[in-house]
Homo-oligomer: A and B are copies of this chain.
Amino acid sequence: MNKRKLGRGVAVVGAGMSKYGVRTGVSNREMFVEAFKHMMASVDRGVDPKDIEANYVGCCGAWNWESQAGIGKWCTDWAGLVPIPSTTVDNACASASVAIRQGIIGIASGLYDIVLAGGVEKMSTLPTNETTLVLATGADMAWETYAGFTFPGLYATMATAYMNEYGTTSEDLMAVAIKNHDNGVLNPMAQFGQTIRDVMNARIAKAKEKGQPVPSWADEMEFLHDSAFNPVVAWPLKLFDCCPITDGAACVLLVAEEIAKDFTDTPIYIIGTGQASGGALHDRESLTSIPAAQIAARQAYEMAGVSPQDIKIAEVHDCFTIAEVMAISDIGFFKPGKEAATAAAEGKTHRDGVKPINTSGGLKSKGHPVGATGAGMVVEIFEQMKGHAGPRQVPIDANLTLTHNVGAHGTTVVVQIYERR
């Protein structure tokens, strides 16, 4: 698509997030302020808030979950940043990545030098069934939602096609969930403080304690795949294939490349950015990949001048387990089909694997506050690249990384590539 370079280089010099989870009694703007403070504390040599020139905020559904449209300006207000320009972006679950991309473009244009960008989402105010309907407004009202589709159904359609085409199993998918929960439990900002393994091990321990027949790990996996403990949400996707409903906010500080070293000795340069659109599911030639992701990835790789093999770690969009499988082939890390589908089961995408994926816990375990998710991905990339990821820190030098963020079922995809020089 677009091979052009940006007019000016841009770097991330700060990144922060609120605690993700069910945040009762805390509004979007309050979570944004938490994320803003966390971000401000992450800037090695600090930044004067008065020097921030614009704020881009992603959000999908505050109009419904808290009766607040155009939330960005209120985040800007409560962060004490009025009267800087504030723009609210709604590209479904890719909103924060689109917001960050606008920030990058704003700096590249010469209009700004220092830009705040991120996202928010408060989702827990409505019952889950209503929240599912709010989310469904991100799909196509003309051909999908009016026909009864919600996102679990849309992704289940893709999972069914994937299984049919490649022989992928529920166990392959569950390995993605288990891996991401193993990572997320090491992330203090993540929604879940427990792994799927923990739950299974607790069952084994309990059986031992009670002197009952002690189930094997294989028994536990079978239980996990075929019991009311992990019920079907939309076949073949079960509860543990689905990300949770999450409240949270995240943001990053973007600065022009030529001033980046004023803020830190280790700026994280954004060397590639791609964004593409896709139509409704019925309009696609294949249901086993997301064309917009492939296009966005190609744009990002071309701009960065690197290839998938060069990328050390990535945060990708795992709203459902099948989404991570499609993601890691759409961005060229693994071949579509068996190679992508078994990457987690074979340990390739684990923290100590050849290509660590979603070291943060991903949407699956860290949580998926939809409008904030893309910014939360950059927080993880930033911490890993700075060596600040604590027990999640990957054992390799993560000097070249990638984020992949999907809006809806691939109607927007943003791929960005980051370099620490």
Contact = CB atoms under 8 A, between A and B. Distances in A.
Interface string A1-34: 1101111100000000000000000010100000
Interface in A76-110: 76-77, 81-92, 98, 102, 105-106, 108-110
A145 interface: yes
A333 interface: no
A228 interface: no
A85 B141 contact: no
Interface in A42-87: 53, 59-61, 63-64, 66-70, 72-74, 76-77, 81-87
- Interface size class on chain A is 35 or more
Nearest to A83: B276
A254 to B, nearest CB: 13
A411 interface: yes
A138 interface: yes
A53 B295 CA distance: 13
Nearest to A136: B67
A29 B82 contact: no
Contact of A83 (B64, B90, B277): B277
A140 interface: yes
A73 B144 CA distance: 14
Contacts of A5: 110
Contacts of A83: 1, 276-278, 291-292, 295
A154 to B, nearest CB: 14
A63 B138 CA distance: 8
A275 interface: yes
A112 interface: yes
A361 interface: no
Could you say which of A61, A102, A280 has the most chain B C-beta atoms within 10 Å of its C-beta? Answer: A102
Could you say which of A6, A67, A83, A110 has the most chain B C-beta atoms within 10 Å of its C-beta? Answer: A83
A407 interface: yes
A399 interface: no
B77 A277 contact: yes
B98 A105 contact: no
B276 A85 contact: yes
B142 A110 contact: no
Contacts of A102: 87, 102, 105
A57 to B, nearest CB: 10
Could you say which of A66, A81, A89 has the most chain B C-beta atoms within 10 Å of its C-beta? Answer: A89
B53 A61 contact: no
A111 interface: yes
A170 interface: no
A360 interface: no
Contact of A82 (B70, B90, B108, B279): B279
A271 interface: no
A283 B29 CA distance: 16
Contacts of A108: 7, 109-111
A23 B29 CA distance: 36
A421 to B, nearest CB: 22
A340 interface: no
Given A68-B141, A109-B110, 13 more contacts: A7-B7, A60-B69, A68-B140, A69-B92, A72-B91, A73-B277, A74-B142, A83-B277, A83-B291, A87-B91, A88-B89, A102-B102, A102-B105
The 6 lowest CB-CB distance pairs between A and B, nearest first, are: A85-B275, A7-B110, A108-B109, A69-B137, A109-B109, A68-B141
13 contacts: A27-B142, A67-B137, A68-B140, A69-B90, A73-B407, A73-B412, A82-B277, A87-B102, A105-B106, A105-B109, A108-B110, A109-B109, A109-B110
